[in-house]
Amino acid sequence: MIYEVEEEIINFTPQGNFTENRVVKVPRRGVTGGCSSFTHPSVKDFERIREINDDEATIVIKKVRRQIRDDEHVCVEEKVLNYVSIGDMKFGYVGSPLEVKISLDFLKSIRFNVLEERVWNLGRVYGILDPEASAHVFHNLVEFLKGDQPRIRLGEKILSDEISVYDNPLNNYLLGFSVFDDEGYPTKRKEIIADGTVSSYLGTSFTKKVEPGNARGFIPKPDYFNLEVSNGSWNVKEMIEDTKGDWILISGVKRSEIVKNSIRLFPRTVIFKGKGVVVREIAIPLQELLTIDAVSKDGRSVMVDENHGAYTPYVRLKVRPIIY
């Protein structure tokens, strides 16, 4: 079996524009898993791209062709991925590159320009996380739910009852959109956490007792494509007004990581008592995920990284700001 990825890439930067092409082909064991071919409607617009000029933004547009074949079967998927970044703010989507300006305007509309003050009295407080920050929390949580080395037991309670988490590769707007995984198995929407309880793992053809369909990478490992988190019943104003004591609003994330059993967010902006404050990290031990007690009724699409998208709401939970 052969797996092949071709990328035709157009880069627009404040310093100038350039194009590049990449092709990677690797052999695989096994046979294709019953996949079907698909061409995203965005592909027809790729040849219609015009010059995009912006003094602040870097824009990358990729036409991607994935192919997997064995002696009897060939599957091809074609799509266009669009990435827009302004400083450390990023957004990406699958779709027509002619709509990139919408994403550019969106990033500019949510940009915070606040002066940051240093405070020293922030202990364990309630944090209200915007959709980008909450997406990074769930992104890191899913690292514990991979079928090759799961670190949380099936049936274990890890979130509040009102939260369910899905991997949905078939959301054809989010960056992880794929109709088949990197072993050729058809993808589908999969519930990972049901009503706060771990219900399934992410699997490949090599993970025991776990359904395949989540293989990603040239050396295929279990991974999600697009996270979807169920909405709640709150609006953001209600969440703020209902919060007792000190609280912070976390808007955007520069990056995130796992440190032992704690999720660490490196926030873009933190608001405390109406002012921007200096916070290096936000620590969220896994047990604190059970303190989530409010989820917004509205969410939005988020770029987690170049390979993962998410649709997530605002959430409120206990967090531990790290000031220095």
pLDDT tens for 177-222 read 999 999 999 999 999 999 999 999 999 999 989 999 999 999 999 9
This prediction has a pTM of 0.95
> What is the pLDDT, as a whole number, of residue 63?
98
Q: pLDDT value at position 115?
A: 66
**Burial status of residue 169 (CB atoms within 10 A of its CB: 0-12, 13-18, 19 or more):** buried
Provide the 10 A C-beta neighbour count for residue 313.
23
Contact predicate 98/49, CB 8 Å: yes
Cα 293 → chain centroid:
22
**Cα separation values, 309 from 65, 146, 177, 226, 248, Å:** 19, 17, 8, 5, 25
- The structure tokens listed for 239 are 């969440």
Residue 120 has pLDDT above 80, yes or no: no
158 Cβ contact list (under 8 Å, min separation 6): 141, 152, 193, 196, 197, 198, 286, 289, 290
Specify the residue for token string 């004591």.
245
Q: In angstroms, what CA-CA distances link 170 with 88, 186, 223, 299?
A: 28, 10, 15, 18
Taking Cα atoms as reference points, which of 228, 185, 235 lies closest to residue 206?
A: 185
Give the mean pLDDT of the chain. 94
